Structure 1
Amino acid sequence: MGLQTIQLKDGSLIPKGGVGTWEMGEMEDEKDLEVESIYKSIELGIRLLDTAEMYGEGGAEKVVGKAINKAISNGIVKREDLYIVSKVYPFNAGKRNIFRSCENSLKRLGVDYLDLYLLHWRGSIPLRETVYCMEKLVKEKKIKRWGVSNFDVEDMEELLSIPNGENCVVNQVLYHIASREADTELVKFGIPLMAYSPLARAGTIVRDRSIFKNELILELAEKYNCTIYQIMLAFVHSQPNYITIPKSTQIKHLCDNYDVLSDKIKLSEEDVQRLDNEFPAPTIRRPINMI
């Protein structure tokens, strides 16, 4: 099955599901496994690959680059089939460093351009300057488009008030079934949200651990003959205007995730509503979580 897409404001399409690479590229003895996991993801049908210069201080980009090169060399994909996302450190997001940062990311990835370049989080460099630089990178064809990450309501309001700020196409935020702060206000901007850690880092960041003993989740896992993690992921994947980027280096988990992202496992509207009632978004706005 193919993956769903979302149309961005520039008219282009982005896959609704992909893979994340946070914490990859950090341990030398794990890099081969990480390369194989990204390669396997591409082989399965994943086309959206999310990384950042921060991850392993460029190590994750190198891992992704090796997997991309292998997939292209083996004829599985062409470069234009892939949707590659990377992020710039806030302290590099100004005229002094961003162009070098972007070039270094491209070299580590072994590609000529990024499909999407994100400001990783708010820093001290004025947004006006960062937007100017992002637009320049677009003109230089180093990136196709740009966005932000970990931006809350006030950040988005400021961004959209400055020249060309409206060209932001994505906001990547923490989002999972037990952390739905983004649903209260951020969704109202109409800019697609990219959900990182949609499985709550295998549940390690869920405040209420009883989520794994929740009767409804257990019932649905049995109904759909799948794991509780697949139910959690399927709920996030069901949300309109959300892009989902789960991360795993285990082949079985990659296949489990792909079964959800390819809609082989798809929750009925009734079951989505039941989960929504069980794990509601805050009725009063709270700051988005960030890890």
Structure 2
Amino acid sequence: MPDQQGVEQGDVEMRAKGFGAARVSVPVIGQGTWRIDTFDRSRAIQALRAGIDAGMTHIDTAEMYGDAEVMVAEAIADCREEIFLVSKVVPSNATRRGVVRACEASLRRLGTDRLDCYLLHWRGSHPLAETIAGFEDLRQAGKILSWGVSNFDVPDLEEALAIAGPDRIACNQVYYSPSVRAIEHAVLPWCTAHGVALVGYSPFGSGDFPEPASSGGRVLQGIAEAHGVSPHSVVLAFLLRLPNVFTIPKTARADRAVENAAAADIQLNSAEIALIESEFPRGPKPRILPML
């Protein structure tokens, strides 16, 4: 399945980490798909395929992402067995029966018989025990291999752990970029302590990537030039400096997908990390966990 860059599948080995308590090996850089259906369909699918060819076989989507699941289905049609596929249920569907119905609908859109991981998109009004019971029903039926959560702060994680018991929560997917490091205060340490993977979404921010002329932009550019990469690649490498972290950038460009994948091989030194941390300080712990 060659992409526009001529990368043949298998030519690139993406660095991987253990995902969740089961320690399944998953590429550290995956592919997000939020709003990917707003781009040219053909180019966006080409970008997903280019990312897969470059080793980014961890693909994240959700039932609320419009046509994204259908586009993912087309991109992975001839390589499903190589993909670590994640989707998410919206809180309004997160009753015990609703979770099962929502998952089955996602499976149909994705053209597959199972998800590698299924997440609650954010905390809603339905009892968490019902949602987790639905997840376990799906897992026992073989329709999902694992489950996790998204946008959960520590109190929510503690409640989920108390309901499900240890070694059940595979991951917590949260907003994590150099400018939004709130999860480093408590969420990331909790996840690390309990064997829960931390998956950072929107690593480049939400339309606010540092301008080249800004102080932060100049810092990223200088480090990028030292490594012969782009500032975006430096950002991904910075987020992956911690052992329990994965990241899922989104792009609708094949060349950018290959560029994102290459960031897994960048090793920032301690001085570079300190410089980025100084330019993009963690700041005080917020009262509410940031999310998009």
Cα shift at 1:185? 0.3
Identify the residue that residue 22 of structure 1 maps to in structure 2. Answer: 34
Kindly provide the CA deviation profile for residues 192-250 of structure 1, in whole angstroms up to 9, marking residues without a partner as x.
2101000113xx246x8688433422321221222222221221122221111001011
CA distance in 1, matches of 2:223, 2:38: 36
CA distance in 2, matches of 1:212, 1:196: 23
Alignment partner for residue 247 of structure 1, among 240, 246, 250?
Answer: 250
Identify the residue that residue 289 of structure 1 maps to in structure 2. Answer: 290
Identify the residue that residue 16 of structure 2 maps to in structure 1. Answer: 5
Cα shift at 1:100? 1.3
Cα shift at 1:283? 4.7
Kindly provide the CA deviation profile for residues 164-210 of structure 1, in whole angstroms up to 9, marking residues without a partner as x.
47511100000001110000000122222101000113xx246x868
CA distance in 2, matches of 1:237, 1:11: 17
Q: 1:23 to 1:83 in 2, by over 3 A?
A: same
Larger deviation: 37-46 or 265-274?
265-274
CA distance in 1, matches of 2:166, 2:221: 43
CA distance in 1, matches of 2:23, 2:145: 12
CA distance in 1, matches of 2:119, 2:166: 13
Cα shift at 1:32? 1.8
Identify the residue that residue 232 of structure 1 maps to in structure 2. Answer: 235
Cα shift at 1:85? 0.4
CA distance in 2, matches of 1:195, 1:139: 28
CA distance in 1, matches of 2:211, 2:127: 39
CA distance in 2, matches of 1:285, 1:12: 32
3-state SS in 2 of match to 1:25: helix
Does the Cα contact within 8 Å between 2:36 and 2:251 map onto a contact in 1?
no
Does the Cα contact within 8 Å between 2:123 and 2:152 map onto a contact in 1?
yes
For these two proteins, the number of residue pairs brought into alignment is 275
CA distance in 1, matches of 2:63, 2:106: 6
Identify the residue that residue 157 of structure 1 maps to in structure 2. Answer: 158
Identify the residue that residue 198 of structure 1 maps to in structure 2. Answer: 203
Kindly provide the CA deviation profile for residues 89-146 of structure 1, in whole angstroms up to 9, marking residues without a partner as x.
1111112321111111111111110000000001111001101110111000000000
Identify the residue that residue 68 of structure 1 maps to in structure 2. Answer: 76
CA distance in 2, matches of 1:175, 1:211: 23
CA distance in 2, matches of 1:213, 1:270: 17
Kindly provide the CA deviation profile for residues 254-290 of structure 1, in whole angstroms up to 9, marking residues without a partner as x.
12111103x1x33223322332233232354543211
Query: How do residues 203-214 of structure 1 correspond to structure 2 at under 5 angstroms?
Result: 204-205=207-208, 212-214=214-216
CA distance in 1, matches of 2:130, 2:253: 40
Equivalent position amino acid for 1:48 in 2 = H
Equivalent position amino acid for 1:197 in 2 = S
Give me the TM-score of the superposition, normalised by structure 2: 0.87
Does the Cα contact within 8 Å between 2:87 and 2:117 map onto a contact in 1?
yes
CA distance in 2, matches of 1:82, 1:38: 12
State the Cα RMSD in Å: 2.0
Give me the TM-score of the superposition, normalised by structure 1: 0.88
CA distance in 2, matches of 1:18, 1:55: 17
Percent of aligned positions that are identical: 36
Query: How do residues 93-242 of structure 1 correspond to structure 2 at under 5 angstroms?
Result: 93-164=94-165, 167-189=168-190, 190=192, 191-201=196-206, 204-205=207-208, 212-214=214-216, 215-242=218-245
Q: Which runs of 5+ in 1 are unaligned?
A: none
Query: How do residues 265-284 of structure 1 correspond to structure 2 at under 5 angstroms?
Result: 265-284=266-285
3-state SS in 2 of match to 1:238: coil
Cα shift at 1:26? 4.5
Cα shift at 1:63? 0.1
Does the Cα contact within 8 Å between 2:14 and 2:54 map onto a contact in 1?
no
CA distance in 1, matches of 2:256, 2:221: 18
Equivalent position amino acid for 1:256 in 2 = E
Does the Cα contact within 8 Å between 1:181 and 1:287 map onto a contact in 2?
no
Q: 1:290 to 1:210 in 2, by over 3 A?
A: farther
